[in-house]
């Protein structure tokens, strides 16, 4: 009875303080870059997610039929909802738009460390800007966030590549269209699955051994020079990535980013630059991932609009922050505890609390008859700054006794000077 649904979490106030702290960092990083918040329902039509590809996300859909027989799903990610919202207003939006959200997302799968069935995923996106400047701006938001919680480029690395790398390689091998996005999904699992399994899957897609080894060697590239050597000097992927890295320098985040051609991301809709942030120690799964998805609206039946963004889960980053000792002790928040001595002064205590609250301070009022001992313990537990005592003698003089818990100093303060 006290247990929730498997894979879900309860947030008690002490957990909520930490969550709010984290979310506040999300909010301020996004706002610092001029992004605006939006939201959408947790429940969407299942259709929005049935892309019938090999993506984990569509196979782990938390879906069911509602009482009207409609097939619905708890959103596994925010991007389709965002695309739906953008599409619905396509003519009316002043582009580009820079929007962010912190939606709760769901997936039905076996639970593991850092993988529940529910998590909060910070999403930051830019729509209507087709250049790599938008992609670089997105990465800048990310780094801004990392720095704001005390993480450094020694803790994390953002590996960057482009879907165009693989697209050009596969194009030269005659693989295009659907086979291309399927290949991306397989290749994304390279570090999770043994090499033989990857090869078997690629073979199944109709790729020969030579093609497979070409793919593998290109994906091993971690240097712009090597990439140019492999794709040629006229390669769009090369010039785009080259420009991006130079923009990263302008942003002053060059030490956070690295070229890594093996980054392709497991979602079918990516089309251009893609990136993932990982802990340098390599102990955790990806902290976040994102990239450009210029053709998503097209697959939903609308007119394409360039877009780029990232999704950032709350669970993995919290594990990293805990490992690094960067999670702060967030205090309860009540500045004052107001206590009326005895039931006769209950009303007086309420007057005092109201005056304090009107003055802009937060006050926790003791609602029942409690002993002094309990009151002190309570104030200490809350981490309150002051204890405001409404006592018979003082109150008869129209005053209260205020004790500063930190210093132990106390003084009598007239009611009208509260």
Partner RNA sequence: GCUGUGAUGGUGUAGCGGUUAGCACGGUGGGUUGUGGUCCCGCCGGCCCGGGUUCGAGUCCCGGUCACGGCCCCA
Structure tokens at 356: 């304090």
Stretch that binds RNA, among 54-62, 87-95, 221-229, 270-278 (CB under 7 A): 54-62
Question: In the complex, what is the shortest distance from the CB of residue 59 to RNA, in angstroms, rounded to a whole number?
Answer: 3
Q: Does 185 bind RNA (CB under 7 A)?
A: yes
Q: Say whether residue 19 binds RNA (CB under 7 A).
A: no
Q: Which of 230, 238, 341, 353 binds RNA (CB under 7 A)?
A: 341
Near RNA by CB under 7 A, which window of 76-84, 160-168, 192-200, 292-300? 192-200
Positive/negative CA dihedral, 157, 162, 163, 169:
negative
Report the first-to-last Cα separation within the chain, whole angstroms. 46
In the bound state with RNA, the residue whose beta carbon lies nearer, of 61 and 244, is: 61
373 in contact with RNA (CB under 7 A):
yes
Q: Does 401 bind RNA (CB under 7 A)?
A: yes
Token pair listed for 44: 């969407």
- Under rule CB under 7 A, residue 346 binds RNA: no
Query: What's the min distance (Å) between Cβ of 259 and RNA?
Result: 25
Q: How buried is residue 194: exposed, middle or buried, by Cβ count under 10 Å (0-12/13-18/19+)?
A: exposed
Contacts of 262 (CB under 8 A, 6+ apart): 159, 161, 187, 190, 191, 219, 220
377 in contact with RNA (CB under 7 A): yes
CA pair distance 307, 125, nearest whole angstrom: 7
SS3 107: coil
Q: Nearer to RNA by C-beta: 241 or 384?
A: 384
Q: Map the footprint of RNA across residues 136-175, applying CB under 7 A.
A: none
Task: For residue 50, state whether it binds RNA (rule: CB under 7 A).
Answer: no
Q: Rounded to whole angstroms, how far apart are CA atoms 17 and 116?
A: 20
By CB under 7 A, residue 358 contacts RNA: no
- Identity of the residue, 58 or 162, whose beta carbon is nearer to RNA in the bound complex: 58
Report CA Rg, the chain: 27
Residue list 195-234, contact with RNA (CB under 7 A)? 197-198, 200-201, 204
With CB under 7 A as the contact rule, the residue among 191, 371, 396, 416 that binds RNA is 371
**Least CB distance to RNA at residue 213 (A):** 18
60 binds RNA (CB under 7 A): yes
Residue 272 CA to residue 287 CA, distance in Å, equals 20
- Least Å from the CB of residue 194 to RNA: 7
Q: Which of 14, 246, 347, 374 binds RNA (CB under 7 A)?
A: 374
For residues 182 and 100, what is the distance between their CA atoms, to the nearest angstrom?
29
Does position 391 interact with RNA (CB under 7 A)? The reply is yes
Rounded CA separation 156/151 (Å): 7
Among 242, 203, 204, 237, smallest CA distance to 218 is for: 237
54 binds RNA (CB under 7 A): yes
Binding of residue 113 to RNA (CB under 7 A)? yes
Q: How far does CA 259 lie from the centroid of its chain? A: 23
Q: How far apart are CA 314 and CA 282, in angstroms?
A: 18
CA 250-251-257 angle, to 5 degrees, is: 100
Q: HEC string of 136-193?
A: HHHHHHHHHHHHHCCCCCCCEEEEEEEHHHHHHHHHHCCCCHHHHHHHHHHHCCCCCC
* Residue 332 sits in the site that holds RNA (CB under 7 A): no
| Contact present, 126 and 134 (Cβ < 8 Å) | yes
> Quick check: 295 and 184 in contact, CB under 8 A?
no
With binding defined as CB under 7 A, does residue 372 bind RNA?
A: yes
**Could you tell me which stretch among 103-111, 145-153, 212-220, 304-312 binds RNA (CB under 7 A)?**
103-111
Decide if residue 392 touches RNA (CB under 7 A): yes
Question: Residue from 85, 376, 413, 415 that binds RNA (CB under 7 A)?
Answer: 376
Q: In this chain, which stretch among 75-83, 157-165, 189-197, 246-254 interacts with RNA, using CB under 7 A?
A: 189-197
Contact status: 39 vs RNA (CB under 7 A) = no
Q: How buried is residue 350: exposed, middle or buried, by Cβ count under 10 Å (0-12/13-18/19+)?
A: middle
Q: Is 59 near RNA (CB under 7 A)? A: yes
Nearer to RNA, 64 or 374 (CB): 374
* 397 binds RNA, rule: CB under 7 A: no
Residues contributing to the site for RNA (CB under 7 A):
3, 6-7, 53-56, 58-60, 109-113, 185-186, 189, 192-193, 197-198, 200-201, 204, 341-342, 371-374, 376-377, 379-380, 389, 391-393, 401, 403, 405-406, 408, 410
């Amino acid at each position: 009875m006290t247990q929730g649904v498997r894979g879900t979490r309860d947030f008690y106030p002490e957990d909520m303080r930490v969550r709010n702290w984290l979310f506040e960092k999300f909010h301020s990083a996004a706002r610092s870059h001029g992004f605006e918040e939006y939201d959408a329902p947790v429940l969407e039509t299942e259709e929005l997610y049935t892309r019938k590809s090999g993506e984990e996300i569509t196979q782990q859909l938390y879906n069911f039929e509602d009482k009207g027989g409609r097939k619905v799903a708890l959103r596994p990610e925010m991007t389709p909802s965002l695309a739906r919202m953008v599409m619905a207003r396509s003519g009316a939006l002043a582009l580009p738009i820079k929007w962010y959200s912190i939606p709760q997302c769901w997936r039905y799968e076996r639970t593991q460390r850092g993988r529940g069935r529910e998590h909060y995923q910070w999403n930051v996106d830019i729509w209507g800007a087709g250049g790599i400047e938008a992609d670089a701006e997105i990465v800048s938001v990310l780094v801004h966030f990392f720095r704001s919680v005390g993480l450094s480029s020694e803790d994390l690395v953002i590996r960057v590549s482009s879907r165009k790398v693989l697209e050009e390689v596969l194009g030269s091998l005659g693989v295009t269209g659907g086979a291309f996005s399927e290949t991306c999904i397989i290749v994304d699992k390279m570090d999770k699955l043994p090499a033989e399994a990857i090869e078997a899957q690629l073979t199944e897609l109709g790729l020969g051994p030579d093609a497979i080894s070409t793919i593998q060697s290109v994906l091993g590239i971690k240097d712009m020079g090597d990439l140019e050597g492999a794709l040629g000097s006229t390669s769009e992927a090369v010039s785009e990535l080259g420009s991006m890295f130079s923009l990263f320098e302008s942003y002053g985040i060059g030490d956070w980013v690295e070229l890594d051609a093996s980054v392709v991301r497991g979602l079918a809709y990516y089309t251009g630059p893609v990136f993932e942030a990982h802990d340098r120690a390599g102990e955790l799964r990806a902290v976040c991932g994102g990239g450009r998805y210029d053709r998503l609206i097209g697959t939903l039946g609308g007119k394409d609009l360039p877009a780029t963004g990232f999704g950032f889960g709350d669970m993995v980053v919290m594990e990293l922050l805990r490992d690094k000792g960067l999670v702060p002790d967030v205090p309860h928040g009540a500045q004052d505890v107001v206590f009326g001595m005895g039931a006769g002064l209950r009303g007086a205590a309420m007057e005092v609390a109201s005056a304090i609250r009107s003055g802009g301070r937060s006050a926790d009022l003791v609602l029942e008859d409690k002993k002094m001992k309990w009151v002190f313990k309570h104030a200490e537990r809350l981490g309150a700054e002051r204890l405001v005592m409404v006592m018979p003698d003082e109150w008869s003089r129209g005053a209260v006794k205020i004790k500063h818990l930190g210093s132990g100093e106390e003084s009598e303060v007239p009611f009208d000077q509260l």
